[in-house]
Structure 1
Amino acid sequence: MSEHTDVVVIGGGYAGVMAANRLTQRADVNVTLINPRPTLVHRVRLHQLVGGTDEAVVPYEDVLADGVRLVVDEVTRIDAAGRTVALAGDGPDGTAGALAYDYLVYAVGSGSAAPDVPGAAELAHPIATLEEAQRLRAVLDRAPSTAPVTVVGAGPSGIETAAELAEQGRRVTLVCGGVLGPYLHTRGRRSVAGRLAQLGVTVVDGPGSKVTEVTGDAVRLADGRELPSEVTVWTVGFGVPDLAARSGLAVDAVGRLLTDESLTSVDDPRIVAAGDSAAPSGLPLRMSCLNATPLGARAADTVLSRLAGEEPGHVHQSFSAQCVSLGRNAGLYQFANRSDIAVWLHIDDGLGAKIKEKVCQGIPGHLSGEARKPGSYKLHRIPGGVTQRRKLLRAAEADRAAARTEATSTVAGGSA
């Protein structure tokens, strides 16, 4: 009788689905994908869900390989020593208990960071998850079209949500808490500001624009201003689930699983990570769909290499960019260098919108392509990026060494 290898993938987002599909290359690998929802959340369209122009979900039958077993449930704990995961048992398919694995892919993704501003947790509406976006959509449906809406946070989610709602005729104020589009190059930022102005969005930026309090009908800023707000949308920061930390695995300061450059947990060679919840060498890639899908492929390749008795490859990112929609008729495609720093080159207006839509369509396209033909995805293997990654790793290690030396000197000085 032939032996099979059981691989459990926790998380059915872009990274998890890519990893699960890719692992079906081997007939002797049994793949189980565990996810709390029965559909793929198309996160890059959540702002469209808020605006009512898309449902932001994709059926798993459209993107998941036939050979992958889907379990709709939530993992409550990882037992690395026993190689099992505990299930909550509250999903439609779930029964409380445990699933055993030979290898585990940790791809739990990210969500909203807990706000520390008074009133924000109780009165503002985050949109980092499907359920949050659905709740906000219901709130907006009940609110008059003239109700003032304040979007807090001027990263891609904030900009996209503000533009989407303003295009529908909503009175929208975008509070930056600093700079509009911090990632963007100055030229790209000017383009975004111009489009938001055309849509009627009031942009509040600068050092005094940090939110200090959220009330039921207003947002208060650090410089003393009070902005009327019947609906406040909170897009500031991302956090990751604490599953790894609760399970006793090493994590970084944010809670991402600490791994080596092959995405293997520093604690256990049977656990690999992918997507927003991975911190290779303590130097994680930017949380984004741009990185999630390639990291899912890389995590699967690490497992497959180990099964073949080969040394797994390392993470590298040869291409960086940021794509932002500005309503249904405009967008911005911001190019970046291999250090993931925005450069002067960008594409905006109608062509930018078309590129953004192609990107949104392309993500499930990559997943379904891998489902049909496992191993066909190649973007994580594009040459380049290795040298830059090594430079970043050396710089990070030098910083850590300097910090250790300073700490040792401080202790020695105190002892004297």
Structure 2
Amino acid sequence: MSGKTQVVVVGGGYAGVMAANRLTQRDDVSVTLVNPRADFVHRIRLHQLVAGTDDAVVDYGKVLADGVRLTVDSVTRIDAAGRAVALASGDTLRYDYLVYAVGSGSADPSVPGAAEFAYPIGTLEEAGRLGPALEAAPLTAAVTVVGAGPTGIETAAELAEAGRSVTLVCGGLLGPYLHARGRRSVARRLAALGVTVVDGPGTKVTAVTRDAVRLADGRELPSAVTIWTVGFGVPDLAARSGLSTDALGRLLTDETLTSVDDDRIIAAGDSANPSGQPLRMSCQAAMPMGARAADTLLSRLTGEQPDTLRQAFAAQCISLGRQAGIFQFANRSDVAVGVHLGGRTGAKVKELVCQGVIKHLTDEAGKPGSYGLHRMSDRGTRQNRLRATSDVAPSASNDGALAAR
């Protein structure tokens, strides 16, 4: 091992790439990024991969700094005491610091038949398996999308725009995050595309068969292809390695994103749970967290006190096919407000966001340390929320206050 500080970044998504790039601003730091794929997956375009309008991958040569060594492999275990990671190939990598950024994927469905007959699309491989199933089905065949969050809405719209007969099963409310005005805008666009929206009480899916979806209210919807977009899960690497996690498996950290078990392990992105108050799983949170994780590590190297997490949200954007979209504004606590951009303007803004994400990564690769959105003031919103939570935590009637969402 050289005299440089050895950093291993586990996971090459939005958070991992941002952290790895940022760490190269110091010549005395050697950065190795471990990722199971040879290409960067642009996850917010996976619904386009399903519909054939984008391949949802970017060459790492474009988004990764020259100083980062890419190792295409999977980490099977973290040995925190020995400061080493075991790889699926049988190799071992030793580290001085580790950035844990393994991201998220589809949650394991508990609904009978869903694992066997439905197609999740939370990862590149899952979306790739859905493609042939759609190609094998006639254009008029019934396609059912289960889940009315952003992924479900985007997938339903994209396929309907391509001429598919699509039913979107909400299991409750269409677009729960959206403001009522934004929700009405989305509903109108889906109706114009011919999507049948099944929402309200009794619309939770209770079973999936080879050719149908059953609902809690007793209805059975014909479905030649069922797409499952309900919830996200995280890899169990941290739990398997004996590190403290929440119920979902996210690594528990403090507000500097440092593991509660080991100050040599720093987490970022969907697989991190800072202070029992995890952020919404999104690239909007992942990239600033990746920058914050890198800054925490760099502060440790210089003996400075790391800054704490300051995460401010502004909006959520959802594409509704290639010709429309919605940019739903939110307050700094990530609660939707009654203002949104829709139609073609919404589509243009969403496309600019997708392109902007890659630009942030490439800019950081070319000029490490230039990204600054993680330093934006949230006007104390997060700290106020943490203080409010700690005030009620000791009460027996609030035992679940810090539970993972």
TM bucket, shorter chain: over 0.9
Distance 1:193 1:405 in 2: 37
Distance 2:396 2:279 in 1: 22
* Counterpart AA for 2:42: H
Unpaired runs of 5+ in structure 2?
401-405
User: Taking structure 1 as reference, are residues 320 and 254 closer, same or farther at Cα in structure 2, changes over 3 Å only?
Assistant: farther
Report Cα offsets for 1:317-366 as digits up to 9, x if no partner.
12331100000000000010111100001000000000000000011110
Distance 2:209 2:398 in 1: 46
Question: Which of residues 367, 370, 385 in structure 2 aligns to 1:392?
Answer: 385
Distance 2:140 2:321 in 1: 19
| CA deviation after TM superposition for structure 1 residue 253, in Å | 1.2
1:112 alignment counterpart = 106
1:147 alignment counterpart = 141
Question: Which of residues 195, 203, 206 in structure 2 aligns to 1:201?
Answer: 195
Q: Secondary structure at the match of 1:208?
A: coil
Contact 2:329 2:339 (8 Å CA) reproduced: yes
| CA deviation after TM superposition for structure 1 residue 405, in Å | 8.4
Report Cα offsets for 1:200-226 as digits up to 9, x if no partner.
000000011000000011000000011
Structure 1 consecutive aligned stretches of length 4 or more whose deviation exceeds 4 Å: 404-407
2:34 alignment counterpart = 34
| CA deviation after TM superposition for structure 1 residue 401, in Å | 1.1
| CA deviation after TM superposition for structure 1 residue 386, in Å | 4.8
User: Taking structure 1 as reference, are residues 190 and 404 closer, same or farther at Cα in structure 2, changes over 3 Å only?
Assistant: closer
2:125 alignment counterpart = 131
| CA deviation after TM superposition for structure 1 residue 404, in Å | 8.0
Contact 2:313 2:333 (8 Å CA) reproduced: no
Question: Which of residues 304, 311, 322 in structure 1 aligns to 2:305?
Answer: 311
Distance 1:402 1:363 in 2: 42
Q: Secondary structure at the match of 1:395?
A: helix
* 2:98 is equivalent to residue 101 of structure 1: no
| CA deviation after TM superposition for structure 1 residue 21, in Å | 0.1
Contact 1:213 1:219 (8 Å CA) reproduced: yes
Q: How does 1:219-368 map to 2 (within 5 A)?
A: 219-368=213-362
Distance 1:406 1:378 in 2: 37
1:401 alignment counterpart = 394
* 2:170 is equivalent to residue 176 of structure 1: yes
Q: How does 1:31-110 map to 2 (within 5 A)?
A: 31-89=31-89, 96-110=90-104
Distance 1:320 1:73 in 2: 35
Distance 1:368 1:295 in 2: 17
User: Taking structure 1 as reference, are residues 255 and 2 closer, same or farther at Cα in structure 2, changes over 3 Å only?
Assistant: closer
User: Taking structure 1 as reference, are residues 173 and 405 closer, same or farther at Cα in structure 2, changes over 3 Å only?
Assistant: closer
Distance 1:246 1:231 in 2: 34
Distance 2:312 2:140 in 1: 46
Distance 2:205 2:391 in 1: 36
* Counterpart AA for 1:270: R
| CA deviation after TM superposition for structure 1 residue 103, in Å | 0.3
User: Taking structure 1 as reference, are residues 405 and 236 closer, same or farther at Cα in structure 2, changes over 3 Å only?
Assistant: closer
User: Taking structure 1 as reference, are residues 405 and 145 closer, same or farther at Cα in structure 2, changes over 3 Å only?
Assistant: closer
| CA deviation after TM superposition for structure 1 residue 172, in Å | 0.1
* Counterpart AA for 2:389: A
1:370 alignment counterpart = 364
Unpaired runs of 5+ in structure 1?
90-95, 408-416
Q: Secondary structure at the match of 2:394?
A: helix
Q: Secondary structure at the match of 2:9?
A: strand
Contact 1:290 1:320 (8 Å CA) reproduced: no
Contact 1:317 1:386 (8 Å CA) reproduced: no
CA-atom RMSD in angstroms: 1.3
2:156 alignment counterpart = 162
2:208 alignment counterpart = 214
1:414 alignment counterpart = none
Contact 1:106 1:272 (8 Å CA) reproduced: yes
Contact 1:125 1:233 (8 Å CA) reproduced: yes
* Counterpart AA for 1:75: V
Distance 1:391 1:209 in 2: 37
Q: Secondary structure at the match of 2:202?
A: helix
Equivalent pairs, count: 400
TM-score, normalization by structure 2: 0.97
